[in-house]
Structures are given as C-alpha cells and as structure tokens.
Amino acid sequence: MDCKPLFLFGNGLSMALSPDFSLKKITNKFITGLKGEEKAFLSELCGGEQNLSFDDFEYNFSLLEDAYGSVKKYKRFIESPTGALFLKKFNLANPDLAKHEEIIKSLYDEYIFQILGLIPGNVTKVAIQQKLGTFCSFLKNQLENCSKGYVFTLNYDLLAETILLEEIGTGKFTDFCSPTGHFKGTQIAKYDFDPALNDARYGEDYTSANIELHHLHGSLSMFYDYQRNKAIKIKSEDILINDVYNTIHKENWTLYPSIITGGGKSLKMNEYPFEFYFRNFKDYSTYGKYSKLFIVGYSFRDEHVNDMIKRWMSGVEDYSKGLLIVDFKKTLEEQAAFKKFVREQIRKRTIIPDSCFEFGGVNAIRDVAGTVAKERDR
C-alpha cells in the first residue's frame, strides 16, 4: 500500500511541550496584565468586566476583531473623498477614529507578544527532545518512509515547523515560501509565500521536497505585507533578534500578523493566503489522497476542519484502518466524554470505533494500517 500520511496538529501538541501554551493560562495572563484605558475598553467591549472570559480568549478576541474591523472600515470611509463630502453635507464632526484604532491594535499586539514570549524558552531543540522525543521519532519515521507526507497545523506557534527543521531538514519539506531578498530597509531575510515560485524550485511533483507543511490558521512567523499585497515569512530567530513585532508598531512597517484567531474562522479560511492551504486540505480530503490521518491534540471545535475530516472519511474505502485520534485524557470519564463529543461533531452512520482513539498523549502515538481512496467513475 502506498503510504501517504497526513498529520493534523492542534494546540494539544504545544501543551504537551509546555502547559504555558494552555489557552486558559494565556488568557488569564493577558487580561490580568491589562491596565488603564486598554482594560476599560476591553471590559466595555465585552459588556462589562463580569463578562470577560478568563477561560477562553477566543470569546474576547472575536469581539475585539469585530470592533477593529468596523473601526477600520468606517475610518477608511471617513478619509475617502466620499466620506469627506458626507461630513460636509450633513455638517458632522470628524469622529477622529485614529485613537480608537490605536487602542484596539495595541490590545491585539499585546496578545501576540504574550504568545511570542512563550516560544524562546519552550520551543527549543532540547525541550522538544526531552518532552516529545518519542513522538518526533515516530513523525520522522513516517515522513521519511512515505511517498508523500502532509503536515497541517492549527496552532500558529512555531513548534511543528521547528520539529520538521530538526528532524527532517529544510530541503525535504516545503511551506510554499521562497527566499526573495530582504525586507525593505533592513537586513532581515524574507520569504514570499508564492506556490507558483515554489513549483519552479521543486518541480510539480515535489520529488526533492515530498513533505508539505500547511499553516491552516497562519503562523507567528507569517505576515501580510499590505503594500505589496503579499504574504511573507520571516525566520523565527530574526523575529526575536530584531524585535519585529514591536518594531512593526513603532516604525509603521507595512506588515500585519497573518494568523486566524477569534471568531469567523470559517469565513477567514477563504481569505488570502489561507485559502491556498484550505483548498489543498479540501482537495486532498475529498479525493482520499492520503492513506493515514493522525489527528494530534485537536479539540474538534472548528466546523471547517471537521468538515474536511468527514470528507476524507467518505473518500476512502475504510477510514477506521487509517484514522488515529491522539489526545491526553487521564480518567475513563474524560475519555468517554471526549469520544462522545467527537462522535457528535463527526457523525458517521457507523460511529468512530474506540480503536481510533489513543489517550496516552502525543508520545503514545502508534501506527495504523492505512486505507486507500475509493475508486471513482471516470
């Protein structure tokens, strides 16, 4: 059987490396660290301090994103010739939304800084080998002995990328970004997200880089350059050495973090550059192009991701031979609750069997037999 594994990583993989990656811990640290007008603004945005969620930042952040999007959209209108005419015609005062936008953006940056601050002490070669050694060996074995391998990550820290660099080597996988000189006015190397250029580098069959890395929800090393209408990547070490996130804000660089968080994830998957990753995931799943699906540390709470899992299950002969869902649950009660929840999200006429679950954590990952794509009418 032709071995083509696909690994889907959720935040549970990062939490196996360090509990500091827990969304609840990040959320608590973020909210308790806010001061003054930023704290007051977020509280009002959520309908009062009593409505702030200390468990899941996604709730707060979705409200923040909605406000930011609305302010930016109205600000662009006010600053346009039509907006100026509108103010003059109806004798309206200019609302001067720059301060509003500044506060909202500072809240966004605070969140990004918190996550970025976790990376230097935790995403290291030593920590990965100590805490994820068995998992890394399994991943390396699967990807080095396959005809084609896929890695899709939902957590936008740099863990999956680091593991591939250390275990597989930069020349054997592609993230569809190619070196294109330096970011303007700096000595920071940049890598343009450009699948067509990537084809030219590796060839259409990717024979020299048969492993694909897809950042479904973006990455902390990925940015959208709105002046060039391009997504670019910057090496993680350059981000830290040059304090890129702070510099973007202070020097008004034309970069914006290219990640998906908060609300409306399904809609954002259709935006550049995420639509490329998502389209590939959809095609590979619909036509059963991978023979094994390892789902590691995923909560099954993203509808657009669940739909792709269901597509693959319907596109192969016997999904139960190729599926393994890996999580960490100590008690039988926790395990039963998780299986019940997964089965509710991934409804199949024949429910997902217990054999497709592994609750010993990422280092307990094991191989599966594999399956094949269904034959289709020509």
Instruction: Determine the 3-state secondary structure of 356 from DSSP.
Output: helix
Q: What does the pLDDT average to over 93-122?
A: 77
- For the segment 217-236, the average pLDDT, to the nearest whole number, is 88
Please say if the pLDDT value at position 369 is more than 50.
Answer: yes
Q: Which residue has the higher pLDDT, 39 or 353?
A: 353
Domain extent listing, the chain? 5-19+124-364, 20-122
What is the pLDDT at residue 196? Answer: 84
pLDDT at 258 over 90: no
Phi-psi region of 262 (alpha: psi -120 to 50; beta: other; left: phi over 0): left
Q: In what order do the strands lie in the sheet with 323-326?
A: 173-174, 211-215, 149-153, 5-9, 292-296, 323-326, 357-358
pLDDT at 356: 98
Q: Is the separation of the CB atoms in 211 and 143 below 8 Å?
A: yes
Q: How many helices (H) and strands (E) does the chain have?
A: 15, 12
What confidence tens digit (pLDDT) does each residue in 334-344 have? Answer: 999 999 999 99
Range with the lowest mean pLDDT among 43-57, 127-141, 289-303, 337-351?
43-57
Q: What value does the mean pLDDT of the chain take?
A: 87
pLDDT in tens, 287-308: 999 999 999 999 999 999 999 9
Mean pLDDT (whole number) for 229-239: 87
The pLDDT confidence band at residue 72, using thresholds 50, 70 and 90, is confident
